[in-house]
Structures are given as C-alpha cells and as structure tokens.
Amino acid sequence: MKFKILLLLIIVLAASLRLYRFEETLSLETDQAAAYLLADRIINDGHLLLVGPLTSIWQINLLSPTYYYLIAGLYYLFGNELTVSAVFAAGGILTVYLIYLLAEELWGKRPALLTAFFYSLSLTMTQYSRNIWEVHLVPLFVILALYLIQKAIKRSSLKLLLLSWPVFFFSLMYVSSILILPLMLFLWTKAYLAIRGGKRQNAFLQIIILTLSFGFIFYLPVIIFEATHGYPSLEYFLQVLGGRTPYIGLSWGNFIQPVISHMQLLSDSLFNFNLPVILMLPLWLSALFLSIKKSGRQVFDGRILSWMIITALVSTVIWQDKPEVYRLAALYPVIFLIWGFLSNRFTQPASPLHFKIVSILLMVIYAFSNLSGFSTIIKSADMSAFTSPFKTASLILKQAENKDFSVFVITPFERFNHHATSYYWALEKLAGKKLADLNDRGNWIDQNLQRTPWIFLICKEYQAETEASSDCLSYFLKEYRLPLPEVSIPEGDDFIYKIRGD
C-alpha cells in the first residue's frame, strides 16, 4: 500500500508540472505550425504525404510521415491546437507510469519509484509534454518498446516481442532512436533466444530480417516517393556517408569534441544548469561502469541499458554539424532507468557512506535545479509564443487591401524563409482560406519568394528596428531587387515591412 501511495504522489507531481498553466506555455514555432498546416492539408485536401518532417539534412528524406499523420488524426478528432497539445501532456504523464512499470519489472518497486521520481521532475521531460514535436514522442515509444520486450521475456510471449518492433519504429518518427538500434538488435536477440531457444547465429539472422521487414513497412511511403521522383536523396546521402558534407565525417582533430559537446548538452538538460563536463565525466563513467558490473545476469538488465548510453554517445563522433541535445532524445528513458537502479543500490543501509552522500547530494541538486527552472518558465509564461504569429498575421491581413500577398521571414541566423510557416498557419486560420503552397515533397511550405502584388517581409528576433533594417531589410531588397517598403510596422519581436511585388 505504501508503494501505491508514493507512486500516486509521483504521478500527481508529474501531472502538476505538465498541466499547471498549460495553456500559457503553448508554442507555435515553425515545426509545430508545419504539423498543423500539413494536418489541415491531409484532412481537408486529401493531401497524400509520403515523406516526414525536414531534418537538419534537408536534402535527404530521413523520416517517414508517421508523425504528420498522427497529428492529422488528432487534429481531425479535436480540431484545435490546445487539445492536440493536451494529448502530448497526457502522454507525458502516462510515460511516468510506464517507466515505473518497466523499472519494477526489471528491479523491483523501490528503484522503480526512484526512476519515476527522476523522470517526473525532469524539466526537459516536462517541456516535452508541453509542446508538440516529433522528438517529444520518442521517450514514450522507447519506454513502451522496452516494456514489451521485458514482458515478453517474463511471459515467454513471442506475440509481445513482435509487438515491440512496430512500437520502436514509431519512435523513429525522429532519427534519435537510431542511436540505440544496435543494442536493440542485441536485446531482441537475447529475448528471442530466451523465448524460443535455438542457435545464437540463427536467432540474430531472424532478428535482422524482422527489423528490416518492419523498417520496410514504416519507410514504404518514403521508398515510394524516392522511386517515383528519381531518388532525389540518394546522391546527397552518398555524399553524407562519404563525409563530403558539413554533417557527417571523421577527422582525428575533431574526434572527441562532438562526444564531449553532446555529453555537455545532455548533462545541462538533466540538471538545468551548466556544469563543466570535466566535473561530470567521472560521475558519468563511474555510473556506467558500476551499472555494467553490478546489474545482475538477467536477459534484460542494466548492462544493456548502459551500453545503449555508451554506444549512442560514442556514435555522435561522426556528427560534424552543431551539437544538438534533441538528437539524444531516445537516451532519456535509459538514463533515468540507470539512475533509479544505482540510486536504490547506493542508498541502501549496507552501501558505503560516500556513495550515500554523493547519491543524495545529486538527488537534491537535481530536484532543486529542475524545480527552479520550472518556476522560472511558469513565471514568465504569458502565451505570447502562441499568440505572436496571430497578432502579426492580423496586421498583415489589414494591410493587404484584399490583394494577393506573400510572406517572407528572415531571422539573424536564417535567411531562406524557413520560419514563415507559423505566420502562414495563423494567416490561413484567420483568413479561412489556403495561402501557402507546399514544396515539391509536400512536407513543408514552398520557401521561395512568391511574386505577388504585396510582399510582407517579417524580420524576426531582431533586438531593434535599426538592426532589422540594416541586416534583414537591406539584404532582402538587394537579393530580390525590390523597392523600398511603403509601410513598416513593429509588432512585438517582429518588424513587418510592406513591399510592392509585381
């Protein structure tokens, strides 16, 4: 009974952190707007989408359209952004319970409570639950896949084991799960042998065939698109594999830095402050070593989870572009599982005193820093991240004078109209008609400048109008040979310029 009460309190804590002033923290950034805009096209125009969201390697169709169809289904059912986002919040609360069940299956109730407590408190996981994005669903499906594998082992159920494949491939709506795929293959093989027996080589071959089969099913739309469009991704993909792009490659001078950078980002996201990785590295290595050495001899144990973390972090060595923590989204459940397991071990009465002190100190720092970060976010929450595109869109509609118009958005770091999506979504909702064309892949808006009677340039995220004019406006007018704007309007963080087009 005591464990049930504690679990209930943890779930209440998780729900409070994910739902308190939920509406005021909604966001309508570029990726969220793209999902809603494409959901609208799928529902109302019968748009057949075959490829998934853009990634940092824009030239390659890396993702299947799973995420966009999921959002389309939710938007069809509920019809508004708030409720769709609330489904993500509900999924985040469910994930706390699922990770408890998984940890309980692996190690018992006490470490399961610790794991659920760490997960529920995480500011990063809380933010995942407050905003829609394909990355934010990765932990849910990773945990569910691992839980099904453990249940399959315990019940000797091949059906449950088979079910874990499509669940895992749902997590591949973003590429981060690829980092743990090698160890998933190993875990599937061990589970298959525990259930069916047989030779290891034959079992591994069958696992590879099953993985390729499910992968083919999930990526079939992408394969169809590539085959019917002359394989546009293939040439660039070969360049990426050969290290002839800014994204992937190996060089001795840059061998360790990507790994260190991603470890730093991961540590920062866990503790919500910048702790030099040189201080965290001994803790990381000690924790992983101890979980490898002392996790038991189960089919599915802490050693596999630890190797998932190690191999995923080491694999970031091939990434040459700017380090991004969301590439490691699939690792969060694994890290919290390991932490719950070790914290339970090191706070036992028989544990050495210095282990107890370090474990409890880390818990206190973790709890304080994450709750402090949550408090800061909630205090400044005012729904402006969601309403800002609508305010700008309303001004544009008033200035358009019932003539055709187009929108172009430039930020200090991006000049290719990528961020026009949120404004087009707001404009379409306010105007009640389609205003944006899609690109040739059908997975984003057409980012080319449309030559219409009016062109509205939005200089976004500039600190002052003088900066927006000298950098953003001057570049745009010169690049597209356009006259000086007839009207300039500041609106929040946006500077809007009304320019004659054709």
Contact 122, 369 (CB under 8 A): no
Q: What is the predicted pLDDT for the residue at 254?
A: 65
Q: How far apart are CA 427 and CA 450, in angstroms?
A: 16
Which of these, 336, 300, 340, lies nearest to 106 by C-alpha position? 300
Instruction: Name the DSSP class of 388.
Output: H
For residues 168, 172, 175, 177, the Cα torsion angle rounded to the nearest 10 degrees is -10
Per-residue pLDDT at 239: 76
| SS3 state at 203 | helix
E-assigned strand segments in 259-308: none
86 and 108 co-located in one domain: yes
Query: Are 239 and 362 found together in one domain?
Result: yes
Answer with the one of 340, 361, 379 that is the final residue of a domain.
Answer: 379
Q: Judge if 245 and 216 occupy the same domain.
A: yes
304 and 169 housed in the same domain:
yes
Which residue matches tokens 């600190």?
463
44 three-state secondary structure: helix
Say if residue 396 is in the same domain as residue 358. Answer: no
Q: Last residue of a domain, which of 379, 395, 428?
A: 379
Q: What pLDDT sits at residue 405?
A: 94
Last residue of a domain, one of 335, 362, 379: 379
Could you report the per-residue pLDDT of 196-212, keeping only the tens digit for each? Answer: 887 888 899 999 999 99
Q: Are residues 352 and 486 in the same domain?
A: no
Contact 22, 86 (CB under 8 A): yes
- Both 316 and 413 in one domain: the answer is no
Low-confidence ranges of the chain (pLDDT < 50): none
Can you give the pLDDT at residue 170? 95
Spatial CB neighbours of 313, under 8 Å, sequence gap ≥ 6 = 259, 262, 263, 266, 328, 331
Which value, to the nearest 10 degrees, does the dihedral of the CA atoms of residues 206, 208, 214, 218 take? -170
Residue range of the domain that includes 340: 1-379
Are residues 373 and 478 both part of a single domain? no
| Number of Cβ atoms within 10 Å of the Cβ of 204 | 17
Does residue 18 sit in the same domain as residue 64?
Answer: yes
Considering the domain architecture, whether residues 168 and 63 belong to the same structural domain is answered as: yes
Asked if 339 and 287 touch (Cβ cutoff 8 Å), the reply is yes
Q: What is the pTM of this model?
A: 0.92
Residues 340 and 401 in one domain: no
Question: What is d(CA 116, CA 97) in angstroms, rounded to the nearest whole number?
Answer: 7
Tokens 């990426």 label which residue?
Answer: 240
CA distances from 226 to 230, 449, 495 (A): 6, 26, 39
- Number of independent structural domains in the chain: 2
In terms of domains, do 254 and 355 share one? yes
- State phi, psi for 245 to the nearest 5 degrees: -135, 170
487-491 and 494-500 strand pairing: antiparallel
